[in-house]
Each structure stands twice: as C-alpha cells, then as structure tokens.
Amino acid sequence: MRASGLSALDNCHNFTIQGGTFNVGTPTEQPQSDFRFVNLGDLIFLDEIDTQNVTLLIKRKAEVLEIQRYRHPLLAQLFGFSCSSGLDALIYYDDMVTICQIRRIHGQSALASHYVPYEMSRHFKAAELYWKETTGKSFSDLPGTAWIRMSTGKLCLNIGVGFEQCWSIQSALQRSTQAKLPSLKLTENELHAKLLCALKLDEFHDMFTFSYRIYFSYGLPSSTKSITLPSIWIPSDCVDFKPGQMLTLRFPNHLTSNDIHMCSWTGFGLRHEVMLTGWTRVEYQGSHEHLYLGLMSVRLRLRREGNVMNWWLSQQNCVRKHLQNDLADVPLRLITGISFLCKLDPQLDNFTLRGTFMTGVPSDPVYLFLFSPQVEILDGQLTVINPADAEKYYWAFDPAGLHQLTNEVAENIGLPTPEFSIELSGPTFAQYEDAMIREFHAAKGFDPDSQDATIAMGYPLVDIEAMKRSAREASPHSTILLHTS
C-alpha cells in the first residue's frame, strides 16, 4: 500500500494492518506560531485586499492580537494568518460574500434592491456603536472592508484592513427612514417575497421615499409669473402637451409657508448680505475671466419634501389613470424646488464698482441688489411669485440700497443688465419603481389605480378634478386628454 493510500483510514479506530512495506515519509514540520496550522485546501479565497497592509500586519503580531480581541457578530473574527512564499493572508471565521454579490443576487427586484442598503446601514451603525463603547474611539478614519456573513445574512466589517476608510463605506451605505424596517437576512433567496409580506404600507413608502436624493433639473421661461409647490412637470417631448408644462398638484391646506426653505443668493466668489429691506446686496470677489453667476433657491424643507413624496407615490398611478394614454409611459416629475439664476457680464471691475465709465461721473461705489422671491398661499397652495426680470434687481450708490438708481441712470453710466433664468428641481424615480409600487399595493389588497392605499395611510388626497383642469390648460388636445371611467 502506498503512503497516499493511508488517507482512506482517516478517522478510523481500533484497526490492524498486517504484511507489506509502508513508506509513510517524514511529516512536514509546522512553523512555530501562536496560531494553529491551516492547510490551504481548507481555505476559501474571498478577495484581494491591500497586500502591503496585510504584510505589515503580519510583521506586527501585536496588531493581529488586537484585532482578535474584539468579538461582535457584525465584526469579522480573525482566525489567524498565513505567511508563506505562496500566500500572505488574514484568515477569518465563517463564509463571507462581497456586497457586490449580494446586490447582483437581488438585482432583479426593485424592492429588495432598495431594502439592502437600509439593512446594511443599520448593521454598520450597530458595529460602530459597539466599537465606540469598547475602544472609546471612532473607526471612521481607520481602513476597513465590508462583507456579508453567510451564516447571519448581515454586514460584517473588517476593521484595520482595506483599500478604503470606514467613513467611505458608511457614506456608500448611508440610508435613513422614519419607519423601523423589519430585519431579514440579506442572503435570503426569497427576499423579495418575504418583503412583500413583512413590510407595512408606511414602511414601504418611507423606504422608497428616502432611497434616492437624485434630482432632475429643467429650465423654465423667466417670464413665468408664478410656480406652485408641489407641481408635476411634463417632459417637453410629450407631443400632446405644450413644451415644459406643469400640472398643479393640489394638497389643499396641508402645506404652509413654514414648510419652505429659502436660500440666499450665493455663488463662487460672491459675498452677499441681506438688507433690512429684504433685498440682497451682492459683491464679487473672484476672477473676472467668467460671468458673474449668482443662485438662490426656494424649496420644500427636506422632511416636508419626504412627506409630499409619500403622498404622491401612494396615488400617482391613480393620477395617471385619469390622464391621457400618452402619459402612461412618461415620467411625471415631482417639482419640490425652484432655483433663480442671475448672470452678469464681467466687463466691470467688480460689484463694488468705481464710477469710471464716463467723464465727470462721481467716483463712488455702485452696488447691485437682487430680489427675494415672495411665497404666498393661493387657493390653499404654496405659490412662489416670480416678478418680471426688470423688477428682480436694482443698482444703488449707497450700500444700504435705500436710494435706487433708475434704469435710465444705470444705462447712461454703463451699468450692465443682469440676465435671469429659472430652473425647477425635484426627486426622480425610475419607471420600474412605479411598477413596484403597483405590485406592492396589489399584494396588500389595494387597487393600484385608486386612492385606497392613500386613504388607508391617512395621507391627504390629490384633488383629481383640479389635476384634470390643470391638464386641460396644458394640452391643446383636451378632447382626448381625460380618461373616462
């Protein structure tokens, strides 16, 4: 019998071998170490980390021992390390998979894809809390690697080794929601089906609402007299509507002026100061190679914006039902913010200009003042009033802006005329997410084309009749616009 044949007798007891010659050979001498010897065949290669850092760790055994000291389900547990000519590696307990693999597993489910980052973010915060309580320090600036532990289906952090810092990992996973979502294993094959059963209506809508902070942006003619928040933007390529139309989204008497956040005029190289008159004096301190550009915005406060998104997502399919068929596949964008932009030709020294344009003109500073939009409640809706461009600015010699220069005087001394534009913005969702909302509502026993789910959650209802009137005004083809039920 050859020596290799002895492997067949592994784990056997109380046996006798008679006859023959056996050349077992000399066993390989194991290196002296505080850790047990592990055969390479017993290891599973997960991923390459930072070879330089791993080598450094191996040379500094004290750091390896320090890593082994921390025991928590959300922290990787170091088993030992390998230091050989063929492999330098840290060896951890349990099977682990990468976050990318988990994302691929659930890539076909919009519901699971939204849920995974929330759950990982919760795991990260729990691990961070344990680390702070144990060490008295934060691990934000330490290198780290994030995995998913197969046995628990939860995030598993390897602190001290990795290409990126822990704060970067947290930033990629950062999610927050008002609702406390159910805890399910991320390695669950039927995660989509289990979420359909486990999630409540408010949990589902909160998760979708706070999943994205990606904003679209569309230009609007500066001559537009007023903009209602919130509204629905219809893309310009929708043939049955005039270019760049908005539909008024009415939630009567549910929003007040306190729900508006207004940012002052800002811009690269701009210094601004709001006067007692409500106007903003701006001064330019940057280079003169580019146009002077200032921006101010009016938008729903973040938390209130989340509420409005919840209200809208819960009944958008009902709204679509009452609009023309051509809008069935068109993304209806929720408008929650407005930005005003001011552009000025940089032919002058700066905004605190010296009067050197004409002979005999006094050498006094000239200041530019920009308007602040007025927000009013009209018919129960938040309405931003947009004045004519000529009423959005003025020049003055005094820094308080109490004595305005007339447009004629400003033109005579060569002061430039600011150019204004308007941009609308709001959160955007993919079309497949609309289908996910329909599926979830149907799974909970609600008609996706009704406002039943909205009523069940106690959300304010969209005024469908007002939407119809707004749609008639926006479309030249009003006879085919409305769905009849």
- Which own/partner contact pairs does 353-362 have at CB distance under 8 Å and 24+ positions apart? 353/415, 355/413, 357/413, 357/414, 357/415, 358/412, 358/413, 358/414, 361/413, 362/397
Q: How far apart are CA 104 and CA 393, in angstroms?
A: 53
Considering the domain architecture, whether residues 193 and 220 belong to the same structural domain is answered as no
Specify the pLDDT at position 241: 46
Considering the domain architecture, whether residues 194 and 243 belong to the same structural domain is answered as no
90 pLDDT higher than 80: no
Return the minimum-mean-pLDDT range out of 115-129, 137-151, 447-461: 137-151
Specify the pLDDT at position 481: 34
Considering the domain architecture, whether residues 119 and 168 belong to the same structural domain is answered as yes
Average pLDDT over residues 174-188: 82
Considering the domain architecture, whether residues 440 and 475 belong to the same structural domain is answered as yes
Give the closest residue to 204 by CA, choosing from 444, 476, 468, 378. Answer: 444
Considering the domain architecture, whether residues 41 and 96 belong to the same structural domain is answered as yes
Considering the domain architecture, whether residues 351 and 463 belong to the same structural domain is answered as yes
Considering the domain architecture, whether residues 143 and 85 belong to the same structural domain is answered as yes
Distances in Å between the Cα of 436 and the Cα atoms of 146, 197, 283, 317, 441 are: 29, 14, 49, 11, 9
Judge whether 355 and 363 are in contact, CB under 8 Å. Answer: yes
Q: How far apart are CA 157 and CA 147, in angstroms?
A: 6
Q: How far apart are CA 282 and CA 319, in angstroms?
A: 43
Return the minimum-mean-pLDDT range out of 161-170, 238-247, 394-403: 238-247
Specify the pLDDT at position 279: 92
Considering the domain architecture, whether residues 76 and 191 belong to the same structural domain is answered as yes
Note whether residue 343 is domain-resident: yes
End-to-end CA gap in the chain: 87
320 pLDDT higher than 70: yes
Higher model confidence: residue 54 or residue 479?
A: 54
Identify whether 230 is preceded by a cis peptide bond (ω within 30 of 0).
Answer: yes
Considering the domain architecture, whether residues 388 and 432 belong to the same structural domain is answered as yes
Give 282-294 pLDDT, tens digit per residue.
876 555 555 567 8
Average pLDDT over residues 232-255: 68
Return the minimum-mean-pLDDT range out of 117-121, 192-196, 235-239, 460-464: 235-239
Q: How far apart are CA 339 and CA 438, in angstroms?
A: 33
Token pair of 152, please? Answer: 């628990």
**Domain edge (last residue) among 199, 228, 246:** 199
Burial of 361 (0-12, 13-18, 19+ CB in 10 A): middle
Give 397-418 pLDDT, tens digit per residue.
888 899 999 888 888 877 888 8
Which residue range is the domain that position 283 belongs to?
Answer: 215-480
Specify the pLDDT at position 415: 82
Higher model confidence: residue 11 or residue 433?
A: 433
Q: How confident is the model at residue 352 (pLDDT cuts 50, 70, 90)?
A: very low
222 Cβ neighbours under 8 A, 6+ residues apart = 386, 389, 420, 421, 422
Note whether residue 336 is domain-resident: yes
Considering the domain architecture, whether residues 109 and 70 belong to the same structural domain is answered as yes
Note whether residue 129 is domain-resident: yes
Average pLDDT over residues 268-283: 83
Specify the pLDDT at position 14: 58
193 pLDDT higher than 90: yes
Specify the pLDDT at position 116: 92
Dihedral angle, C-alpha 378, 381, 386, 387, nearest 10 °:
10
Percent of the chain exceeding pLDDT 90 equals 18
Higher model confidence: residue 19 or residue 100?
A: 100
Token pair of 314, please? Answer: 């819960």
pTM of the model: 0.70
Judge whether 247 and 231 are in contact, CB under 8 Å. Answer: yes
Specify the pLDDT at position 249: 82
Specify the pLDDT at position 252: 74
What total number of domains does the chain contain?
Answer: 2
Note whether residue 344 is domain-resident: yes
Note whether residue 187 is domain-resident: yes
Distances in Å between the Cα of 173 and the Cα atoms of 3, 22, 119, 125 are: 53, 59, 9, 10
Considering the domain architecture, whether residues 105 and 230 belong to the same structural domain is answered as no
**Domain edge (last residue) among 174, 199, 224:** 199
216 pLDDT higher than 70: yes
Considering the domain architecture, whether residues 282 and 422 belong to the same structural domain is answered as yes
How many residues would you count in the chain? 485
Average pLDDT over residues 463-472: 78
Specify the pLDDT at position 16: 62
Q: How confident is the model at residue 480 (pLDDT cuts 50, 70, 90)?
A: very low
Specify the pLDDT at position 239: 45
Q: How far apart are CA 145 and CA 47, in angstroms?
A: 10
Note whether residue 423 is domain-resident: yes
Judge whether 236 and 212 are in contact, CB under 8 Å. Answer: no
**Domain edge (last residue) among 156, 175, 199:** 199
Note whether residue 446 is domain-resident: yes
Note whether residue 16 is domain-resident: no
> For the chain, what is the radius of gyration of the CA atoms?
33
Specify the pLDDT at position 201: 92
Arithmetic mean of pLDDT over the chain: 75
4 pLDDT higher than 50: no
Give 28-82 pLDDT, tens digit per residue.
555 555 555 556 555 555 555 444 444 444 444 555 556 556 666 666 655 566 6
